[in-house]
A = this chain, B = another copy of it.
Amino acid sequence: MSSITLKDIARKAGVSEATVSLVLNNKTVVNVRTRERVLKCIEEMNYRPNPLARGLALRRSMTVGLVCPDSENPYYGKLMKLLGHYCNRYGYSLVLGVSNNDPEMETRIIENFVDKKYDGIIILPLNLKTNNSPVFQEIRDKKIPIVFGTSYYTGFKEDCVLTDYAGGSYLLTDYLLGQGHRELWYFVTDDKEIPVSKERIAGYRRAYEERSLPVQEEWIVGCDSISVEYGYERAKQLLQEKTCPDGILAINDYMAYGIKKAIQELGYRIPEDISLAGYDDVFYQMIAEQPLTTVHQDMEKMAENTVLLLMTKMNKDFDPGKKIEKIISPSLVVRSTTKKVIR
């Protein structure tokens, strides 16, 4: 059974296909009475235009593609939801592709978005400095509207909405130093040059410097994977090898929970023996018995500004109605996993 087409509507309404198309696209040239008649037929026959044909002719689709590295992580889950919400607000639908932390998969998804003439692309990148696929050059050449969220690949710093990682990291480190901590380990990504880690480390160092306190390089721990499991393994290993630090900071809450488990299994108490802090302030707070000290990011704001930035790129005369913030300020949330160190 074939679908009903614009031609069917034209026939039924006794007009040409062109007229139906004009009605469909809200062109005012059409006579009100014909317009009504056509709309009635569309309604009656429950007609929906073929987006493939439309996209082929128009080279646009009123849809935005979102690439996400991990669907299992609720941090991304929340972002997907919010981004979808804001895209819909401006009449766009959001289509998702999950790259599963695989650069090649990410590439394929993006190529597909480009090929399908999606009007804009949002990328939540992998934890890499860049994805070397030529599709990114293609995106530049064709000036395809693109926005990176949470981080960015080399060369796309301007097309990016972030929270102030250095600032958040500074806030947290400075607070803990003020509470008497001296040796703070920081679990970051293996490659310390990717934006997320680089900025975090910068904020951390700045806090130490401002207080003229020393940082030892080995306190900054690169991790192959920033998962709960890896955090657990690595923390367990380090805590057995070395002397116990005053506190441990994790690159995200996710990992912090893994570290927490390791600390407790080794018989240390949190926060009495070791302080622990995360980053992101994701919902696990509801689940974990002992709420985590962390850095909160306004995800609504991030999502909104990401979409607003994309809209201005897709539509030259789009008016965001307010200034677009590309760097969102985070805030410190002190809960129960950190303490004051008495010396």
Contact = CB atoms under 8 A, between A and B. Distances in A.
Interface of A: 1, 3, 46, 48-53, 55-56, 70-74, 76-78, 80-81, 84-85, 93-98, 100, 108-109, 111-112, 115-117, 134, 141-143, 228-229, 232, 257-258, 261, 264, 283-284, 286-290
A317 to B, nearest CB: 22
Contacts of A96: 71, 95-98
Contacts of A71: 71, 76-78, 80-81, 84, 96
A216 to B, nearest CB: 29
Nearest to A72: B77
Integer count of this chain's copies in the complex: 2
Contacts of A290: 289
Closest 9 CB pairs of A and B: A96-B96, A72-B77, A71-B77, A71-B80, A257-B287, A52-B56, A52-B55, A228-B286, A52-B52
Nearest to A286: B228
A77 B73 contact: yes
10 contacts: A1-B141, A71-B71, A71-B78, A73-B74, A80-B98, A84-B100, A93-B109, A94-B98, A257-B286, A289-B290
A115 B48 contact: yes
Contacts of A257: 286-287
B81 A108 contact: no
A52 B58 CA distance: 11
Contacts of A52: 52-53, 55-56, 115-117
Contacts of A286: 228-229, 232, 257-258, 261
A98 B84 contact: yes
Nearest to A254: B287
Contacts of A3: 142
A25 to B, nearest CB: 17
A312 B72 CA distance: 28
Contact of A77 (B48, B74, B141): B74
Nearest to A264: B289
A181 to B, nearest CB: 24
A108 B93 contact: yes
Contact of A115 (B46, B50, B100, B261): B50
Nearest to A290: B289
A93 B78 contact: no
A277 B303 CA distance: 36
A97 B84 CA distance: 9
Contacts of A112: 51, 93
A116 to B, nearest CB: 6
Nearest to A81: B71
Contacts of A142: 1, 3
A81 B98 contact: yes
A261 B264 CA distance: 21
Nearest to A253: B287
Nearest to A84: B98
Contacts of A93: 97, 108-109, 112
Contact of A51 (B1, B53, B116): B116
B85 A115 contact: no
